[in-house]
Amino acid sequence: MSFYAEPAFFLLLVPIVGIAAVLGICEKPLARYGCAASIVMLLLLFSRSLDSLAFFVGYLAYSFALTRYVTRLFTEERPGRIARYRVALALQIAPLAVYKVGVVVQPDFLGFIGISYITFKTIQVLIETRDGLIKDMSTFEYLYFLVFFPSFTSGPILRSRKFVKDMNATRTRDQYLELLYRGAGWFILGAVYKFVGASLAEWAMWFLPSVIGTDTLGTAIAANIVYALGYTFYLFFDFAGYSHMAVGLGFALGIEVPRNFRSPFRAIDIKDFWNRWHITLSTWLRDFVFMRVVRAIRHRKLISSRLLTSCLGYMCNMTLMGVWHGLTVDYLAYGIYHGLLLAGCELIERKWGFYKKHKCDRVFRICSWAVTMVAVIFGFALFSGQVLHNPLA
Tell me the catalytic residues.
Answer: 325
368: three-class secondary structure by DSSP: helix
Instruction: Please state the separation of Cα 165 from the chain's center in Å.
Output: 21
Alpha-carbon gap, residue 221 to 214, rounded angstroms: 8
29: three-class secondary structure by DSSP: coil
303: three-class secondary structure by DSSP: coil
- Which candidate, 118, 182, 107, places its Cα nearest to that of 152? 118
Question: Do the beta carbons of residue 327 and residue 358 sit within 8 Å?
Answer: no
**Which amino acid is it at 108?**
D
Alpha-carbon gap, residue 371 to 353, rounded angstroms: 19
Question: Do the beta carbons of residue 249 and residue 187 sit within 8 Å?
Answer: yes
Query: Which residues are CB-contacts of 110 (< 8 A; sequence separation ≥ 6)?
Result: 55, 95, 98, 99, 102
Instruction: Please state the separation of Cα 157 from the chain's center in Å.
Output: 5
Count other Cβ atoms within 10 Å, centred on residue 76. Answer: 8
Query: Which residues are CB-contacts of 291 (< 8 A; sequence separation ≥ 6)?
Result: 313
152: three-class secondary structure by DSSP: coil
- DSSP readout, 70-105? HHHHHHTT-TTHHHHHHHHHHHHHHHHHHHHHHTTT
Query: Which residues are CB-contacts of 353 (< 8 A; sequence separation ≥ 6)?
Result: none
Alpha-carbon gap, residue 50 to 112, rounded angstroms: 10
- Which candidate, 153, 167, 71, 66, places its Cα nearest to that of 112? 153
